[in-house]
Structure 1
Amino acid sequence: MEQIECFGKINRFLRVGPRRQDGFHEIFTVFQSISLRDSLTLELTDQSGIVLTVSDPSVPSNKENLAWKACESFMNQIDYSGGASIHIEKRIPPGGGLGGGSSDAAGTLLLLNRMLNNPLSRNELKKIARDLGSDVPFFLVGGSAVGTGRGEQVEPLPDSNPFSFLAVFPNIPFSTEKMYSLLDRDENYPAPKQMSTREIQALLVQQSDGLENSFDRIVSKISGKVADVMQGIRREGFPVMLSGSGSTFLVFEGPYSLEKISNKLPAGWQSMKLRSMTRQEALGEFIF
């Protein structure tokens, strides 16, 4: 039995373009590993099949779970005759745009590969990750990275300067499908503009400055309350942006402590102070 820590992510920068013919959207994003993590324990078994348990009952523990799919895809790839027992201790809120499910899937691939003496190459693992989901390939890279295509084309960047932020979890769910649909209705919405390496490096050095998320422009069309709270925090002098398509949003360092912002949030909303992670911190011995 072995364990891997599966760290979450934020998109420090996210430009979403029009829907492609294949149904996906072209994006340009800067991924960043963060300190919030799930813990995944895996044990190989002689009997075929996958047994998955999850500490959070709201998260599926069957074939709908990306970690299950990752395990199944890996074993099919190498014609493994045995099975696996997996347990996920969830700390990353599901559906919050922090990549918990995708990170668990990538962690499953990395852990299986090591436990079975590395039968798959780096490129073979990437291929499985791309087939599992747009965010999964990033978690094989960790740290800071650029994502293009639908997000599955990932290029590592040098680690950014360390920074802290507040992740806010409203009790108001946002439908990812609805968020993309609202962007699609904007006929004037441009294709995502690529950035040079120099521009990206400048963004990372600036930390909170220059942050962008295409979904920020349509928050008010989903929830006036979330939009009002985000705008109120901006007026206090803090950079604010959605995490992915929301409803989780991120508050970066400003004129006073993030803890004071946390104390001003509406009743029932949760928040957590987090920090960025280097590639070494996020992947450790699993860097390849």
Structure 2
Amino acid sequence: MKYSIKAPAKINLSLDVLKKRDDGYHEVEMIMTMVDLADRIDLSMRNDGRISVDVSEGFVPSDERNFAYQAAALLKKRFNVGHGVHIYITKRIPVAAGLAGGSSDAAATLKGLNELWKLGLTIDELAELGAEIGSDVSFCVYGGTALATGRGERIETLPDPPPMWVVLAKPPIGVSTKDVYGGLNIKTARHAKTAQMIDALHRQDSEAVFSLLHNTLEDVTLKIHPEVGHIKEQMKRFGANAVLMSGSGPTVFGLVEKESRVNRIYNGLRGFCDDVYAVRLIRSSETCLNTDENGML
């Protein structure tokens, strides 16, 4: 038996870091939403009880470091599953990009194996398991648009942003999330207006959403990697309504209301950046799971 499922990327409409916690994590408030740039996870039942992973990109780990592997191992151990699984990940989301590609792969694996192994877990139970793997996995289990608090594992569903295009651009660099958080001075950092952004989403006010985009980590990353700032400037110059770095970076996204501007922004960025994508927001009403037992997506 086989099962296939999409693992969409996320962007942060708002990211605020409130304090350092006693457990070493940071207390955050993040408003996240998903875009239709997605990895594909193909799950094939193994009868020998083993978990194996192959990835289309050779630089992505295929052992216990892989979040999808960890998701399968967690379910197998927690629910004493005798079957194994082979996981094939077709990567489209850039790696180490601030787009939660690994977390979304883990979330998709949890949801897919829940069906393949017939575990009968609820979405809330899967999200709770996801929190044991990584801070963004719970959100990726739910999908849509949501406020994430705590270390990212407490999820409150929000209205989707108004329909618009999203242009993503990732410079050819890697960003250490640990270094970015380590360089953050919470007392002097600029903080997000989270409540106002939530209100803007409820009112479906595009202009307010544009003006309230904020990422407390952005200033830190810009100091370490000024090329991220260059992409922001170019994206604005080419006509994006609003621009922000996602997560700890280095991917920058631009929100674009008019489709006529999308190609101009996309083509302009392709002149100096290889990883550029023009995508749409995923609506909460849309399903990210289009599958059958033959693995057709």
**Structure 2 length-normalised TM:** 0.87
Per-residue CA distance 1:162-209 (angstroms, 9 max, x = gap): 21111001112222111111213x542377665275354247644433
Which range is displaced more, 6-15 or 65-74? 6-15
| Contact 2:51/2:85 (8 A) holds in 1 | yes
Q: Which one of the candidate residues 253, 277, 288 is aligned to 2:256?
A: 253
Tell me whether 32-41 or 265-274 shows the greater mean CA deviation: 265-274
Aligned residues of 1:63 and 1:69 also touching (Cα < 8 A): yes
Measured at CA, do residues 40 and 188 of structure 1 come closer, stay the same or move farther in structure 2, by a change above 3 Å? same
> How many residue pairs get matched?
285
Contact 2:228 2:252 in 1 (8 A): no
* Greater Cα shift, 247-256 or 37-46: 247-256
Structure 1 position 10, deviation (Å): 0.7
- Mapping for residues 60-139 of structure 1, pairs under 5 Å: 60-139=61-140
How far residue 224 of structure 1 moved from its aligned partner, in angstroms, is: 2.4
Q: Does 1:267 align with 2:284?
A: no
**2:192 equivalent to 1:188:** no
Compared with structure 1, are the counterparts of its residues 123 and 142 closer, same or farther at alpha carbon in structure 2 (3 Å cutoff)? closer
Q: Which residue of 1 aligns with 2:294?
A: none
Alignment of 1:143-154 (within 5 A): 143-154=144-155
Conservation of the 8 A alpha-carbon contact between 1:11 and 1:32: yes
Task: Using the TM superposition, give the Cα deviation of residue 29 of structure 1 relative to its aligned residue in structure 2, in angstroms.
Answer: 1.2
Could you tell me whether the CA contact under 8 Å between 1:54 and 1:61 is conserved in 2? yes
Contact 1:41/1:86, CA 8 A, preserved across alignment: yes
For each residue in 1:8-47, what CA deviation from the matched residue of structure 2 results, as whole angstroms up to 9, or x when unmatched?
1111111122322211111111111110011111112221
Letter in 1 for 2:188: N
Q: Which amino acid aligns with 1:279?
A: S
What amino acid does structure 2 have at the position aligned with 1:261? I
Cα separation, 2, equivalents of 1:107 and 1:31 = 17
1: CA distance, partners of 2:51 / 2:126: 19
Does structure 2 retain, via aligned residues, the 8 Å contact 1:237–1:254? no
Separation in 1 of the partners of 2:220 and 2:256?
24
Structure 2: tracts of 5 or more residues without a match:
292-297
DSSP 3-state at the match of 2:129: helix
Q: Is the 8 A contact 1:142 1:282 kept in 2?
A: no
Residue 195 of structure 1: SS of its match in structure 2? helix
Distance in 1, matches of 2:161 and 2:201, equals 10
* 1:235 CA drift (Å): 5.3
* Structure 1 residues 1-288: aligned runs within 5 Å: 1-184=2-185, 187-189=187-189, 195=195, 197-202=198-203, 205-206=206-207, 207-234=209-236, 238=240, 239-253=242-256, 257-265=261-269, 267-284=272-289
The Cα of 1:101 is off from its aligned counterpart by: 0.8
Identify the range of structure 1 (169-178 vs 60-69) with the bigger mean alpha-carbon deviation.
169-178
Measured on the aligned residues, the alpha-carbon RMSD in Å equals 2.4
Q: 1:121 offset after TM fit, Å? A: 3.5
Q: Is the CA contact 1:39–1:88 (under 8 Å) kept in the aligned structure 2? A: yes
SS for the counterpart of 1:120 is coil
Identity, % of aligned positions: 31
- TM-score norm. by structure 1 comes to 0.89
- Letter of the structure 2 residue corresponding to residue 90 of structure 1: K
Rounded to whole Å, the distance in 1 between the matches of 2:49 and 2:145 is 37
Q: Which amino acid aligns with 2:220?
A: I
Partners of 1:167 and 1:94 lie apart in 2 by 13
SS in 2 for 1:281: coil
Q: Aligned partners of 2:290, 2:279: CA distance in 1, in Å? A: 23
Letter in 2 for 1:231: E
